[in-house]
Amino acid sequence: MQTKTNLLGLSRTGLDAFFQSIGEKKFRTKQLMQWVYQRQVVDFDAMTDLSVQLREKLKTTASLAMPIVVHKEFSTDGTRKFVLELDSGNRVEAVFIPEGQRGTLCISTQVGCALDCKFCSTGKQGFFSDLTSAEIVSQVWIAAQSFGVPENIGHKPVTNIVLMGMGEPLLNFGPCIEAIHVMLDDFAYSISKRRLTLSTSGIAPKIRELADHVDVALALSLHAPNDELHDEIVPINKKYPIQEVLDACREYLSRFSARKRVIIEYVLLDGVNDKFEHAHQLVKLLQDFPCKINLIPFNPFPHAPYKRPNGQRIQKFKDVLAQAGFVTTVRTTRGEDIDAACGQLVGQVADKTRRSQDWQAAVWKKMQPSV
């Protein structure tokens, strides 16, 4: 039997090639993308401006397949969490966070992560697999779908997308680029390139390469002001030390005249990287680096080796940066009643869905501190 091509997550170029391969004109790309992403329709039979003959052809040659939503939770503060099960049985999460007119969707790019940052529950679980472009884009489709069809609700619920869920996007490069193209496309979600942010732990060569493909906002995870401490918390720093990564970011910015700065994400770990001296070192390190700084108070998870600093420590750290002239924000935790905070994605659904128990057991085992 001929294997069907999954059209979900294919960029305009990919769809053009598909339609050509089945003897159809390129304008079908626009029609299909609008049905799938703007009207949220994934049933070929319902695509009424395609001829019956083409719909039949699509049914035999193509699919619009996405992961199953095995769990969803809506918080009292409007945050929505979706747990998706992939064909492999692995699970990932996406979280929607509303704030005034803005609706930010945080999506995953890998199942687990190989980089083992010491404060990250995804890292503690190890690496399971890369997501396909379809699996990445599906998270947007599923979140949007939870609000109904945009024409009916009168607005687009997802205005901003951040690649800040599970995984390191730059280590799943091709599928992430393909998915980003779909998210930015006017025929699809038409997310503004200022409102799509890719967060990386600092894979220097890939940051440079990114500029050859897409112009999106860049967030850099930098959790210590010196290599010695960063090596300890973020092991990939040994391969790509701080200065090399900052240089790669500068080069990225230089490729886009409208892109003025990078967002620095700094997770505050009590007594580890949140001291007065660290704040001053950070000021020195970043004095000529075009950035704004987002401080993220550590979100605890079971067996985590760190604690979240108290409000006073956080404020003191922030004040040093702000007084030195940095635009500095502190990320507030949202959706706490549904465990939707940073670094807490996946890990608590075992008692709610039976099928996940084996998988969950494996994860917990991996999360036990090694002796």
Q: How far is the CB of 335 from ligand SAH (least distance, A)?
A: 13
CA distances from 13 to 16, 38, 131, 158, 299 (A): 5, 18, 20, 24, 40
Whether 342 is catalytic: yes
Number of shown-chain residues binding ligand SAH (CB under 6 A): 15
Are the C-beta atoms of residues 214 and 180 closer than 8 Å to each other? Answer: yes
Give the C-alpha separation, 197 to 218, whole Å: 6
SS3 content of the chain, % helix, strand, coil (to 5): 40, 20, 40
93 touches ligand SF4 (CB under 6 A)? no
Whether 93 is catalytic: yes
Locate 167 and state its tokens.
């995984």
Q: Which is nearer to ligand SF4, 119 or 187 (CB)?
A: 119
111 touches ligand SF4 (CB under 6 A)? no
Locate 281 and state its tokens.
């070192």
Question: Residue 229 carries which side chain, given as an amino acid letter?
Answer: L
Q: Which helix (H) or strand (E) holds 330?
A: strand 328-330
The single residue among 117, 131, 134, 340 that binds ligand SF4, judged by CB under 6 A, is: 117
Applying the rule CB under 6 A, the residues between 153 and 182 that interact with ligand SF4 are 167-168
| Residue 6: how many other CB atoms lie within 10 Å | 16
221 touches ligand SAH (CB under 6 A)? yes
Binding-site string for ligand SF4 from residue 218 to residue 257, where x marks contact by CB under 6 A and - marks none: ---x------------------------------------
356 touches ligand SAH (CB under 6 A)? no
Q: Which does 104 bind (CB under 5 to 8 A by kind): ligand SAH, ligand SF4, none?
A: none
Q: Which does 105 bind (CB under 5 to 8 A by kind): ligand SAH, ligand SF4, none?
A: none
Give the C-alpha separation, 11 to 17, whole Å: 10
Q: Which is nearer to ligand SAH, 131 or 267 (CB)?
A: 267
Beta bridge partners of 266: 295
Q: Which does 298 bind (CB under 5 to 8 A by kind): ligand SF4, ligand SAH, none?
A: ligand SAH
* Residue closest to ligand SAH when measured from CB atoms: 343
298 touches ligand SAH (CB under 6 A)? yes
* Residue closest to ligand SF4 when measured from CB atoms: 123
Q: Which of 73, 85, 93, 135 is flagged as catalytic?
A: 93
Radius of gyration of the CA atoms of the chain, in A: 21
201 touches ligand SAH (CB under 6 A)? yes
Q: How far is the CB of 219 from ligand SF4 (least distance, A)?
A: 11
Give the C-alpha separation, 201 to 117, whole Å: 9
349 touches ligand SAH (CB under 6 A)? no
Which among 314, 321, 312 is positioned nearest to 297, based on CA atoms?
Answer: 314
3-state secondary structure of 224: coil
Residue 5, classified by CB atoms within 10 Å of its CB into exposed (0-12), middle (13-18) or buried (19+), is middle
Beta bridge partners of 196: 161
Pick the stretch among 76-84, 85-93, 194-202, 312-320 that binds ligand SAH (CB under 6 A): 194-202
Q: Which is nearer to ligand SAH, 201 or 237 (CB)?
A: 201
Catalytic residue ranges: 93, 342
Residues in contact with ligand SAH by CB under 6 A are 119-120, 164, 168, 199-201, 221, 265, 267, 296, 298-299, 342-343
